[in-house]
Structure 1
C-alpha cells in the first residue's frame, strides 16, 4: 500500500495509524510537486515496488496529472486499487483537456474502478432531521431562499454540512445558557471556562442533521457516516456506507450498488508464489507401480534368457 499527497493530513495520519495497528504494511508514503516535474519518477517508484493499493490525498486539479501519468505507466486496471480521499466534482475527469496532456478517453480508462471516500452529506432513508427537514425539503428551501434573494447560484454540495454547523452552534449555545444561567453571564475574561463548557457540551451533543447524524469525538472532530463511491463504467456509483458508532461497513444500503470487478474478484495486493502439493490417486499409483514392476521383471527374464543362449546359433 502507498499513500500519495499531503492533503487531509489528519485523516491520512489516522488512516496510517489504523491500518498499521491492523498489521497492514504501508510500503511507501510519498508526495510530489507538479512544478518540479518529479511525478513520473514517483509513479515509477510505485510500479517498480509492485504496489497495488494506492491511497491518494490530493486535490482535484492534481488528480488529472496523477491519473494521466498512471495511464502512461499502466498503473491502473485489473491489478490496482485506487482510493481517493475527498469530494471531487461529478465526472471530473471529463474536463481533462484543461489540465493535463491526456485525452478524456484516456483518463476515463485510467480512473475506471477507483474508489472515493467522503463524509455523507444527506439523510439516509426517509427520516427527518432535528430541524424537521427531509433531503427534499432542505433542497426546496435552499432554492426558494436563493430565488427570494434574487441570487443565481449552484447549490453547493457542502450546503447540508454548513446548515448543520449552524445548528451545532445554536444547540451548543442553548445548552450552555441552560447550564450557566444565561449567556448574558458570558465574559471574555473567563473565556477559558466557557471554552471548556462548550467543548464538554459538543462532546455529548448528538442530533440528526440534514447531512446525517451529527456527533463529535473528544478532539472535536465530527463523527459522521462516511460514503464510499466507485467509478464503474465511467459513472461514480455509491457502493458502501461506514457507520462509526458501531464500526460497521454496509454494502447493502439502499443507495448502494454491487461492486463490479473485472474478473469477478478484488485484485491481489501483491504478486504471490503459491507452492501447491499435488498427490496422485492411490489406485492409479499402485496400478502403474504394479505394471512397472511387471515390466522390469519381464525385462530381467528376457535379459537372463539372452545371456543363457548367447552362444547358441
Structure 2
C-alpha cells in the first residue's frame, strides 16, 4: 500500500518543499524494494525521501535505567547483538514476560481454591490478575510499562527516511530524530534522540499546512499626493494669473473682441478641473478612521461633480464662442446675426443645467459609495499570497451613468468640432477660438480613452491609476489655458495701449477644383500654346517679307530714272490686322 501511495505521489508531483509525508512506520525492512507498481524503485524513493514515520521505540530512552530484571536497555541491546537477532519487537516480548512475572508474584495472597487445570476458571485468579496488570507500572527495556484501558502506553520514536545518491548506488537511511515519552496526564514529552539530528527539510523550513495570506493596504503615498497637489496648485495659480490679466486688460481691443467674460468661464472650468485632481488623491487614511466612510462617500460624489462641471463650463465656453463665429461669418447679412455675450452665457447655462440634472439623478437614484476591494499577488513562495486592500468608488449601475454622460458630452464635442471646422478660415485670432476647440477635443478624447484604459487595467492599483489620470488632466487643462490665453498675452505685450487697427473680418474662400476640370484646363492650355507658337512662326515670316519690300522701296526712291509705279495692298497672312503696303510694280510696257 505504501509503495502505491508514493508511486502516485511521484506521478502527481506531490513531493518537494511544499509537501511533507508522515506515515506509520510498521513496515518490513526495505519495503520500498518490493515494487510491483508502475513506478520503479528510483521514482518511489524520490517521493519517499524526507518522509517522517512514527512507531514505538525499539528500546527505552533512558538507556542506563535498570529494569525489574536488573538489566539496562544498553545491556539488553548488547545481549541481543551477541545472539545476532534483529527483531524490532523483541524488547516488547521481554517486557511482556516481565509484566506477567510481576503480576503472578502478586497473586500469592489469593486463596488456594483451585487445581492447576482450572486456574483460569477461578474468578479470584482471573479478576485479580487483570486488576494487577491494569495497575502495573514497572520499568522495562522498552521504557516505562503501564496500561490505559488495556492499551500499553509506551515511548514513540519519530524517524525520517533519507535517501542518498552517489555515482554507483543509492543508500536509504532511517534516522531517529525524537522520542516522545508518556506522562501521567496522558501527554507526551518530546525529547531529542541520541543521534542529535534535526529534521531535514526540502526547502528553507517546514511546509505550510495552509496558504498564508498577508494583508497590506494599497494607498496613495503621501509623496505622490504632495507632488500632484503642488502641480495642481501651480495650475490654479496660473489660471488665477490669467484671470487677473483678463480683468486688467478687459478694455483692450484684442481682449474685448475675444469676450473676456466668456474667457472667465473657461478659467473657472479649468480651476474646477485642477481641484478634481486634489479630490482624487484623498483616501480614508487622510481623513481618519472615525468618519472615513461617510466622508469618503462625499468625496466619491464630489470627484464626479467637480470634474464633470469643470469640463462642461470650460469646453462649453469655447464651444459657445465658436458657435457665435459660425453664426456671424456663415451668413451674407452678418450684421443682423450678431450674438451678444448674454446669449453665450445662456448657452453655457443650459449645458450646466443638463449636467446638474444628470448628476443629481445619479446621486439620488444610485449614489456612489466607497468600497474596500481585495486583489491578490502571488509571491515567489507559492504558499504565501499578498492581499492588497484598496478603496474604490462604486455604485450598482455605474456603467449606465457613465454611458449617459459620455453620450451627452460626446455629442457636444462632435458638434463643437463641426463648428470649428466650418470656421477654420476665419483669420481673426481675437475672435475665433475654433482652433482651440479642435485641440480641446483632442485633449478630451485622449483623456477619456486614457482614463477608461487606466480605470480598467489599473483599478486594483490606486496609486498608479491616480498618477496617470492626474497627469493627463493637468496636461490637458494646462494646454487649453495656454492655447486660449498665451496668444492674448503676446498681443497685449506687443500693443499694450491698443493702438493697432483692428483686423477686418475676412473669410478666405478656396474654390475646390475637380479632377476632370483640372484635366480640361490642361488640355485648353496645351491648345493655346500650340496656337500661339504657330502665330509666332508666321509673324517671323511676315517680318522677313516686310524687310525685303522696304529695301526695294528704298532702292526705287533713290533711282532718278524710274518711271511709273503701281501700288498694291499687301495683307499679312498671319494676322487679322490689315496693313497697307505700297508695293511698286514695274510696268513691262514702259
Matched, 1:276 2:207: no
Secondary structure at the counterpart of residue 152 of structure 2 = coil
Matched, 1:297 2:233: yes
Inter-partner Cα distance in structure 1 for 2:64 and 2:113: 36
- In the alignment, which residue of structure 2 is the partner of 1:103? 40
Decide whether aligned partners of structure 1 residues 309 and 69 sit closer, same or farther in structure 2, where only a CA change above 3 A counts: closer
The partner residue of 2:177 within 236, 239, 243 is 239
TM-score normalised by L of structure 1: 0.66
Deviation (angstroms), 1:277: 2.9
Deviation (angstroms), 1:207: 1.2
Secondary structure at the counterpart of residue 194 of structure 1 = helix
**Structure 1 or 2: larger helix share?**
2
Secondary structure at the counterpart of residue 177 of structure 1 = coil
Decide whether aligned partners of structure 1 residues 157 and 303 sit closer, same or farther in structure 2, where only a CA change above 3 A counts: same
Inter-partner Cα distance in structure 2 for 1:183 and 1:172: 19
Q: 2:114, 2:122 within 8 Å by CA — same for their partners in 1?
A: no
CA deviation map 1:24-77 (0-9, x unaligned): xxxxxxxxxxxxxxxxxxxxxxxxxxxxxxxxxxxxxx2112111211111222
Structure 1: which 5+ residue stretches go unaligned?
A: 1-61, 147-152
Deviation (angstroms), 1:298: 1.4
Q: 1:228, 1:239 within 8 Å by CA — same for their partners in 2?
A: yes
- In the alignment, which residue of structure 2 is the partner of 1:254? 194
Q: 2:120, 2:126 within 8 Å by CA — same for their partners in 1?
A: no
Secondary structure at the counterpart of residue 215 of structure 2 = coil
CA deviation map 1:219-254 (0-9, x unaligned): 211011111111234421112111221523324343
Q: 2:10, 2:47 within 8 Å by CA — same for their partners in 1?
A: yes
- In the alignment, which residue of structure 2 is the partner of 1:118? 55
Q: 2:22, 2:51 within 8 Å by CA — same for their partners in 1?
A: yes
Matched, 1:85 2:21: no
Decide whether aligned partners of structure 1 residues 185 and 295 sit closer, same or farther in structure 2, where only a CA change above 3 A counts: same
The partner residue of 1:198 within 121, 129, 135 is 129
Inter-partner Cα distance in structure 2 for 1:140 and 1:290: 80
Matched, 1:63 2:8: no
Secondary structure at the counterpart of residue 176 of structure 1 = coil
Matched, 1:263 2:199: no
The partner residue of 1:161 within 92, 108, 111 is 92
Larger relative contact order, structure 1 or 2 (CA cutoff 8 Å, min sep 6): 1
The partner residue of 2:71 within 106, 127, 133 is 133
Decide whether aligned partners of structure 1 residues 293 and 140 sit closer, same or farther in structure 2, where only a CA change above 3 A counts: closer
Decide whether aligned partners of structure 1 residues 70 and 168 sit closer, same or farther in structure 2, where only a CA change above 3 A counts: same
Inter-partner Cα distance in structure 1 for 2:145 and 2:95: 8
Inter-partner Cα distance in structure 1 for 2:138 and 2:106: 13
Deviation (angstroms), 1:118: 0.9
Inter-partner Cα distance in structure 2 for 1:205 and 1:143: 29
Of the two, which has the highest radius of gyration? 2
CA deviation map 1:191-227 (0-9, x unaligned): 444332222111211111112211111x211011111
Structure 2: which 5+ residue stretches go unaligned?
A: 164-171, 243-481, 492-590
TM-score normalised by L of structure 2: 0.37
Inter-partner Cα distance in structure 1 for 2:120 and 2:151: 27
The partner residue of 1:216 within 122, 141, 147 is 147
CA deviation map 1:170-211 (0-9, x unaligned): 111111223x15696774585444332222111211111112
Aligned residues: 237
